[in-house]
């Protein structure tokens, strides 16, 4: 059952087709038709087979790509190829600037806003504290671990005070223990900011731990074939992986995904 109220993000009958330059070669339908709604303040994760269009979906919501057909809206406004104010994006790749300190990395985007020097400083200091980076304010990315550099990238998004945070497999390059700890930090961040979080991940356990609702995508062209409600309390953390229901949720996700994953790789060896 979807949360009550008007959706913050709405995708209706969205399709995305990639056509080779000069129309040489066959076009590829990556998505759709796809319908999806995200509601204010929820944590929504998307899982799906490799190549199903998860990142393409995030790029459409972010305004980094334009749908071939259908409607994509944020707070009632069409998203048409540009990142709207109030939307922040964090990618898997380390996007920190190696020549800038942690403080300067985090404050980099604030130059676009009409803020006083005091307000810029306050926002950066708040983000440093929220992400546990205050002691590393004057360090450079090369002096930090991979997990800490990703925290810098998240903090750089936070200072812009987005109402919608889009995350494309932000912990994919980290080891399992670090991912669990980063998941705790992300949940804490979500609670403190009140922002809507839209997470793309290939990890079923990550989705099951973090999300209120999980959308399951089919093999390409990607569509939402199931939406799983986790039922977790808002004050959850990584200790819920010990709960019996955690196993039940991941098992349901895999039941939905197994046949689609085999279809995505053309695997015929086992019955779906």
Residues 154-164: tens digit of each pLDDT: 899 989 999 99
Mean of all residue pLDDT scores within the chain: 90
Instruction: Summarize pLDDT for 208-226 with one digit per residue, the tens.
Output: 999 999 999 999 999 999 9
Q: What is the pTM assigned to this prediction?
A: 0.90
State which residues form the domain around 154. Answer: 41-67+75-265
pLDDT of residue 33: 94
Distance CA 30, CA 11 (A): 15
pLDDT above 90 as % of the chain: 64
Structure confidence at residue 210 (pLDDT): 97
What is the tens place of the pLDDT at every residue in 120-138? 999 999 989 888 899 999 9
What is the model's pLDDT at position 109?
87
CB burial string 169-207: b at 16+ within 10 A, e below = bbbbebeeebbbebbbbbbebbeebebbbbbbbebbbbb
* 174 has pLDDT over 80: no
Please state the domain count of the chain: 1
The mean per-residue pLDDT over the stretch 243-256 comes to 95
Residue 225 lies in a domain: yes
Please return the burial class of 128, using the count of CB atoms within 10 Å of its CB with bins 0-12, 13-18 and 19+: buried
Interval 43-87: pLDDT, tens: 999 999 988 999 999 999 999 999 999 999 999 999 977 888 899
Residue range 216-241: mean pLDDT, rounded = 95
Banded pLDDT at 272 (limits 50, 70, 90): very low
Asked if the model's pLDDT at residue 21 lies above 80, the reply is no
pLDDT at res. 5: 73
Closest by alpha carbon to 72, among 31, 44, 43, 29? 31
Q: Which of 206, 213, 215 is nearest to 238 (CA)?
A: 206
Closest CA to 213 of 239, 71, 186, 224: 224
| Residue with tokens 């979807």, as numbered in its chain | 2
CATH number at residue 56: 3.40.50.300
Does 3 map to a domain?
no
Closest CA to 213 of 192, 199, 194, 195: 199
**Inter-residue contact 7 to 37 (CB < 8 Å):** yes
* Helix H or strand E encompassing 232: none
Residue 32 located in a structural domain: no
| Residue indicated by tokens 């990584």 | 238
Q: Is residue 135 part of a domain?
A: yes
Domain-located, residue 133: yes
């Amino acid at each position: 059952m979807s949360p009550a109220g008007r959706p913050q993000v709405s995708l209706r009958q969205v399709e995305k087709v990639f056509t080779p330059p000069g129309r040489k070669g066959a076009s590829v339908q990556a998505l759709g038709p796809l319908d999806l709604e995200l509601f204010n303040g929820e944590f929504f994760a998307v899982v799906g087979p490799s190549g199903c269009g998860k990142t393409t979906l995030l790029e459409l919501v972010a305004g980094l790509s334009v749908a071939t057909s259908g409607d994509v809206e944020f707070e009632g406004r069409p998203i048409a190829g540009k990142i709207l104010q109030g939307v922040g994006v964090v990618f898997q790749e380390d996007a920190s600037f190696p020549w800038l300190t942690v403080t300067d990395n985090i404050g980099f985007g604030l130059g676009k806003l009409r803020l006083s020097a005091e307000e810029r400083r306050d926002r950066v200091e708040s983000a440093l504290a929220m992400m546990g980076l205050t002691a590393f304010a004057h360090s450079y990315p090369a002096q930090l671990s991979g997990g800490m550099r990703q925290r810098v990238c998240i903090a750089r998004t936070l200072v812009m005070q987005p109402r919608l945070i889009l995350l494309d497999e932000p912990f994919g390059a980290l080891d399992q223990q670090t991912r669990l700890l980063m998941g705790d930090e992300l949940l804490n961040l979500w609670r403190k900011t009140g922002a809507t979080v839209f997470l793309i991940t290939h990890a079923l356990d990550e989705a099951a731990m973090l999300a209120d609702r999980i959308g399951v995508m089919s093999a390409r062209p990607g569509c939402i074939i199931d939406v799983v409600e986790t039922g977790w309390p808002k004050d959850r953390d990584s200790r819920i992986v010990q709960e019996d229901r955690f196993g039940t949720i991941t098992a349901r996700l895999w039941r939905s995904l197994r046949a689609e994953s085999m279809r995505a790789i053309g695997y015929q060896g086992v019955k779906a």
